[in-house]
A and B are shown apart, each in its own frame.
Chain A
């Protein structure tokens, strides 16, 4: 059993964890362990039992010579320290806080024994949060290890650097890591590339992109395949952001790929007869990014891609993975008919396979190809429907993705229905958001008619209103308001608009019957606005009915957002204007809200009450029917008040005197202020005199003892006693 090297305590701990039957039991075990570990830590500071300190030889373990005795004890301590850290790792892995022990990890990282150093670094990497100050304590240690002569120490440090550095630490470490990319050992070079890239990710100023790319070119041609493989990751990452600098690497990449698939790498790189599948996949992915939209670059790739696909067809997963990667690349680069056919063929085999994993790939591959070449989709419609109804949720989701990409004006209704169906049944927030966006896009792009659009968007609002963007609501309202556009002002166009609005009103009025408080904010606002504007068109509901419903709504919703309440109240006001008289329920609502805390709402209600009482005939003009698209005419000169002004002037009111230009006054004010209060500045503006050099000490005012006399050391044997007058009688007779 491999537990021989563990202490009894640790062994017991693991046994207990392994046999625990419930989370609570496990928690109890860990709490006990935490207490034990804390005691060990406190014990260590007084007895030196844990840290790397040397115990006093006299009391230490007896046997042998004093020398070996102390080293044994030292090893014992280090072993204990390492075990302490591993136990701490367990504590944290199982979800408990072990921060009391972090400092031991930092200490152990300074150990000279490599495995202890590595353990210390490991714990720090796993447990220290990015903002934790201990990360800074390790910078010095990591630098020292990077410059070490031991390969293992360098490697430990490189791994630690990748895990632990933050952007402020990059300037201190960048040059060390850069040097290591020319190190003699491939184990080091392989890691240095990744560490250097990590620094670039954190701080693009210290690690220049151009330098990084130059380095990558060299590393790509490294004699060790692992190092080359390591660099591929970084190349792919950078090329995804900007493929331009890598276009000239295409030839090298193709040549490397060729060597790999011809089994020219060391046999150790073969995985179940497929040569270095992950390296193949990475290269093929890079080719996809670099060849996209670039006919020239793509041209060189066709041959190798075809060969790669053929050679990878050995009937095992690793081979299929490579084939799939080739399919993805073929669909992204500049199209080539032969390759596309080969890709479609592979997809067919995947999608009709018995293995669920391969079906998954079939669906994903089809989604990739169908965007640019829809003709390949028709052959697989049956399989796609099957996948959609499969009980495997993952497969269903992938198929939804495929359907989204396959949408055209013919099948948009069917597909949207399926998407909405899924949206209704899911609780996964990420999926909801994704589907919502998809439905919005599809509806806007392919809506067969306005009515369908309104219904679909309303459904969407109901199910996931929080995820819908504000603009969608805006578009919807615009659509209803403006109808199908101004081109046809003829009878048909107008009628269609009216029908649309009637329909919208019916839908929304019906919705009001449902659980109104639960409807999302955007939906409520849209509904209220539409009802306010167009309720008069409705043949199913009377104005009063809708008015009452709105009043109910606004009373129920304590949770309504302020904006929602305002819109509903405005709608109520519009309806009152249209109805010609104000039913008591509406009057009460407006009265209530005229005392609302929200000032805007108050204002609207008070103005409305004023209007009703003083000038009810103006209501029609102020809240006109179906005029939401017309601009409000504003007369900035307020000409309509001219009559009033003239009358007032005739009655003796004073003319308005524009105040004089204030600027002069201001200047005077400041001048007075300055002159009367001008004081010499508290700052001394003239520079100090240059300090005189202190002459020999004798002339300076160095007092020393009994400083009255000067020049004593010139006399007699006083020698080098500078500046200090010796006490009388110091030199014997002097």
Chain B
């Protein structure tokens, strides 16, 4: 299962973080800073996967922003000693799918867009990943739901102009 999804920039500032397994604040901060340090220390020529404290991690860099997904064995499987079966290449491409989706939504996504509309980015993620599982990869379906949300909110404001 996906344990966390992070968007961290080169300087180590977190732009968006989503956790599917609860971690207290101090652990999150430590995790985020250490992982970005590890990602930064790797060269372009090395593979996009790394292992960190029991998390199988996949990362991908877009300009100055790193997208990082950390995975752990599925909760149910872990009870019977199962291993982490996540397909790293599949998740790497999922990151790309996510970026393409955000790109379509924002009309060319950039780091600032994520900063200025943080809650919307979370809403998009909520459509695509639930409880650490990938539930939607079809861009159209995701954006349809977001569009519905935005239209509804504009209606509420416009009615009383």
Tell which of B54, B88, B140 touches A268, judged by Cβ atoms closer than 8 Å: B140
A14-B116, A197-B131 known; A392+B141 contact, CB < 8 A = no
A115-B149, A268-B141, A357-B89 known; A122+B119 contact, CB < 8 A = yes
Which residues of the other chain, B, contact A268 by a CB distance below 8 angstroms? 138-141
Q: Which of A50-58, A84-92, A498-506 is the interface stretch?
A: A84-92
- Tell me, yes or no, whether A694 is within 8 Å of chain B by CB: no
Tell which of A114, A321, A361 touches B156, judged by Cβ atoms closer than 8 Å: A114
- Tell me, yes or no, whether A276 is within 8 Å of chain B by CB: yes
- Tell me, yes or no, whether A162 is within 8 Å of chain B by CB: yes
Q: Which of A237-245, A376-384, A466-474, A594-602 is the interface stretch?
A: A237-245
Which residues of the other chain, A, contact B49 by a CB distance below 8 angstroms? 357, 360, 394
| A102 CB to nearest chain B CB (Å) | 13
A2-B112, A94-B14, A281-B90 known; A129+B24 contact, CB < 8 A = yes
Q: Complex: how many Å from CA A279 to CA B93?
A: 13
Q: Which of A67-75, A214-222, A444-452, A723-731 is the interface stretch?
A: A67-75
Tell which of A26, A321, A359, A395 touches B90, judged by Cβ atoms closer than 8 Å: A321
Nearest neighbor of A2 in chain B, beta-carbon distance = B116
Residue pair B134, A233 in contact (C-beta under 8 Å): yes
Q: Complex: how many Å from CA A75 to CA B154?
A: 11
What 0/1 readout, one digit per residue, does chain A (16-55) give for beta carbons within 8 Å of chain B? 0110100100100000000000000000000000000000
What 0/1 readout, one digit per residue, does chain B (124-151) give for beta carbons within 8 Å of chain A? 0010001101111111110011001110
Q: Complex: how many Å from CA A89 to CA B28?
A: 14
A14-B116, A278-B94, A360-B47 known; A240+B76 contact, CB < 8 A = yes
> Which range contains the number of A residues in contact with the other chain?
35 or more
Residue pair A2, B106 in contact (C-beta under 8 Å): yes
Residue pair B131, A162 in contact (C-beta under 8 Å): yes
Contacting residues of chain A (450-477) with chain B, CB-CB under 8 angstroms: none
- Tell me, yes or no, whether A198 is within 8 Å of chain B by CB: yes
Q: Which of B14, B49, B92 has most A Cβ within 10 Å?
A: B49
Q: Complex: how many Å from CA A129 to CA B17?
A: 16
Residue pair A226, B136 in contact (C-beta under 8 Å): yes
A95-B25, A269-B138 known; A324+B89 contact, CB < 8 A = yes
Which residues of the other chain, A, contact B97 by a CB distance below 8 angstroms? 271
- Tell me, yes or no, whether A441 is within 8 Å of chain B by CB: no
Residue pair B77, A285 in contact (C-beta under 8 Å): no
A97-B25, A240-B82, A278-B94 known; A226+B117 contact, CB < 8 A = no
Q: Complex: how many Å from CA A238 to CA B29?
A: 33
Nearest neighbor of B132 in chain A, beta-carbon distance = A233
Residue pair A321, B93 in contact (C-beta under 8 Å): yes
A114-B149, A271-B93 known; A226+B135 contact, CB < 8 A = yes
| B144 CB to nearest chain A CB (Å) | 8
Which residues of the other chain, B, contact A324 by a CB distance below 8 angstroms? 87, 89
Which residues of the other chain, B, contact A360 by a CB distance below 8 angstroms? 47, 49, 88
- Tell me, yes or no, whether A374 is within 8 Å of chain B by CB: no
Residue pair A240, B112 in contact (C-beta under 8 Å): no
What 0/1 readout, one digit per residue, does chain B (47-63) give for beta carbons within 8 Å of chain A? 11111011000000000
Q: Complex: how many Å from CA A475 to CA B116?
A: 62
Residue pair A194, B135 in contact (C-beta under 8 Å): yes
Residue pair B28, A95 in contact (C-beta under 8 Å): yes
Contacting residues of chain B (95-122) with chain A, CB-CB under 8 angstroms: 97, 106, 112-113, 115-119, 122
Q: Complex: how many Å from CA A691 to CA B61?
A: 81
Q: Complex: how many Å from CA A404 to CA B46?
A: 23
Which residues of the other chain, A, contact B16 by a CB distance below 8 angstroms? 93
- Tell me, yes or no, whether A320 is within 8 Å of chain B by CB: yes
Q: Which of A151-159, A615-623, A666-674 is the interface stretch?
A: A151-159
| B152 CB to nearest chain A CB (Å) | 5
- Tell me, yes or no, whether B85 is within 8 Å of chain A by CB: yes
Tell which of A26, A94, A152, A190 touches B135, judged by Cβ atoms closer than 8 Å: A190
A152-B152, A240-B82, A241-B80 known; A118+B123 contact, CB < 8 A = yes
Tell which of A115, A197, A281 touches B153, judged by Cβ atoms closer than 8 Å: A115
| A616 CB to nearest chain B CB (Å) | 56
Which residues of the other chain, B, contact A85 by a CB distance below 8 angstroms? 119
Q: Which of B106, B137, B144 has most A Cβ within 10 Å?
A: B137
A151-B148, A226-B141, A395-B47 known; A233+B133 contact, CB < 8 A = yes
| A139 CB to nearest chain B CB (Å) | 18
| B58 CB to nearest chain A CB (Å) | 10
Contacting residues of chain B (4-42) with chain A, CB-CB under 8 angstroms: 12-14, 16-19, 22, 24-25, 28-29, 42
Contacting residues of chain A (319-354) with chain B, CB-CB under 8 angstroms: 320-322, 324-325
Residue pair A95, B152 in contact (C-beta under 8 Å): no
Q: Which of B79, B82, B157 has most A Cβ within 10 Å?
A: B157
Nearest neighbor of B134 in chain A, beta-carbon distance = A278
Q: Complex: how many Å from CA A17 to CA B114?
A: 13
Nearest neighbor of B20 in chain A, beta-carbon distance = A163
A93-B14, A233-B133, A241-B80 known; A281+B87 contact, CB < 8 A = yes
Which residues of the other chain, B, contact A278 by a CB distance below 8 angstroms? 90, 94, 134, 137
Residue pair A285, B113 in contact (C-beta under 8 Å): no
Tell which of A14, A194, A393, A431 touches B130, judged by Cβ atoms closer than 8 Å: A194
| B68 CB to nearest chain A CB (Å) | 14
Residue pair B47, A201 in contact (C-beta under 8 Å): no
23 examples of A-B residue contacts, CB within 8 angstroms? A17-B115, A71-B160, A89-B118, A90-B118, A93-B16, A95-B28, A114-B153, A115-B149, A129-B22, A152-B148, A159-B126, A187-B141, A201-B75, A225-B138, A229-B137, A236-B74, A241-B79, A277-B93, A281-B90, A357-B48, A392-B47, A394-B46, A430-B51
What 10 additional pairs, Cβ within 8 angstroms, besides A18-B115, A75-B157, A357-B88? Answer: A94-B13, A113-B153, A118-B119, A122-B122, A271-B93, A276-B138, A277-B137, A278-B137, A360-B88, A361-B89
Which A-B residue pairs are the 3 nearest by beta carbons? Answer: A115-B153, A356-B47, A233-B133
